[in-house]
Amino acid sequence: MIVAIPGVLDAATVAVFRAELDAADWIDGNATSGHQSALAKRNRQLPEGSPVAQRLGGLILDALGRNPQFIATALPLRVYPPLFNRYRNGDGFDDHIDSAVRIRQGSDFRIRSDLSATLFLSDPGDYDGGELTVEDVLGSQSIRLPAGDLLLYPASSLHRVSPVTRGARLASFFWVQSMVRDAEARRTLYDLDRSIQALAIDTRPDHPAIVRLTGVYHNLLRRWAEM
């Protein structure tokens, strides 16, 4: 399931991020790559322990915690502290699949990567190329979202970033371990939640049918959730 979540960060917050990122010191993006990714990856990123990365990453985590669509889609148990990358001057990232387990350097923090996330920090007009292409059961989807919007997609999917031929593409990227490990179960809960929300708009939120459906949702989550 590939889901775009608009407005995770507002325009004013994105502007603050851009000012700090433009002044930051960037390193080779392969600092956090495994062997296979290092063969495919050409970009720059902030050091994982950078004060800028930690401060901005904390703001992203706060924004995610306030975003009901992110919570409904990901059902997050753990979120890897956000990282930041920059593509320009022909940088790109060839076909790859993200590592199944992500371990934060110098700590015992680790997660199973159920979902990958890209939070766009550059508007599509700021650069050419740089499409994030994700392969799923419906075929290839090539995506460039407005700054402040988030893309969630299966970490198990083959994906790539096409070379940037003009300007710079800035983004934050991270991974999510969901309470619901099975992707199809997670999709079922997401579809059910969206249907309940739509019905609540058209009818009374306390309508008996909506109350029963809400109970079904929570009973399924109770069955499938891993804590």
Q: How far apart are CA 49 and CA 68, in angstroms?
A: 29
Looking at residue 211, its amino acid is V
- pLDDT tens for 91-145 read 999 999 999 999 988 788 999 999 999 999 999 999 999 999 999 887 899 999 9
**Whether residue 39 has pLDDT greater than 80:** no
Sign, CA dihedral 122-123-128-130, equals positive
Q: What's the pLDDT at 64?
A: 98
pLDDT cut 90: percent of the chain above it: 84
Q: Homologous superfamily of 3-178 in CATH? A: q2cbj1_9rhob like domain (2.60.120.620)
- What predicted TM-score, i.e. pTM, was given to this entire model? 0.92
Numbered ranges of CATH 4.10.860 in the chain? 183-224
Please determine, for residue 214, whether its predicted confidence score (pLDDT) is greater than 80: yes
Q: Distances in Å between the alpha carbon of 121 and those of 30, 86, 93, 195, 205?
A: 20, 10, 17, 31, 36
CA nearest to 216, candidates 205, 195, 202? 195
The secondary element (H helix, E strand) that includes residue 38 is helix 35-40
Domain with CATH 2.60.120.620 in the chain: 3-178
**Out of 22-36, 79-93, 161-175, which region has the weakest mean confidence (pLDDT)?**
22-36
Three-state secondary structure of 78-116? EECCCEEEEEECCCEEEEECCCCEEECCCCCCEEECCEE
pLDDT above 70 as % of the chain: 96
Please tell me the CATH code under which domain 183-224 is placed: 4.10.860
- Alpha carbon distance 115, 61 (integer Å): 15
CA dihedral over 28, 32, 37, 38, signed as positive or negative? positive
